[in-house]
Amino acid sequence: MRSSGGAPIVGTVKFGQIGSEVSVGEHNFIGASQFGLLESWIHYIDNSHANIIEQKPALGDFTAINVAGFSWDSIQSLIVTQSASPGSFITVYGLFIDLLPAGVLG
């Protein structure tokens, strides 16, 4: 992501069932035109719960254990939102998703 350089603005990434997505990470841009990297890991526990790891220099605010709102058997969306900020916008340069087969990470 990159901010346009206007007023401060927040970019948020959400993932989950369409219409009830769960916030999994965000980046706060302070105003100057700057790049931001947002990385989150979602580890499914069962069909409807997952652990969220928001990776920043330290763990982010959206890091949580056993979060509801996911559905492995349903269509899910990955969306990027931005806060309302006069004269500012966020440009998204890429969304990358790694899907690993069951058993690869444990």
Provide the residue range defining the domain that includes 82. 2-91
Q: Which residue has the tokens 């499914």?
A: 44
In a domain, 78, yes or no: yes
Encode pLDDT of 55-71 as tens digits: 988 899 999 999 998 88
Contact between 31 and 90 under an 8 Å Cβ cutoff? The reply is no
| Residue 99 forms part of a structural domain | no
* Residue 98 is assigned to a structural domain of this protein: no
Q: Assess if residue 100 is contained within a domain.
A: no
Phi/psi at 45 (5° precision): -95, -45
Q: Is residue 105 part of a domain?
A: no
Per-residue pLDDT 10s for the chain (106 aa) are 899 988 899 999 999 888 889 999 999 998 788 898 889 988 888 888 889 999 988 899 999 999 998 888 888 889 999 999 888 899 999 888 776 655 555 5
Prediction pTM value: 0.83
Residue tagged 């998204």 (tokens) = 92
Number of compact structural domains in the chain: 1
Tell me if 54 sits within 8 A of 25, measured CB to CB.
yes
* pLDDT at position 63: 95
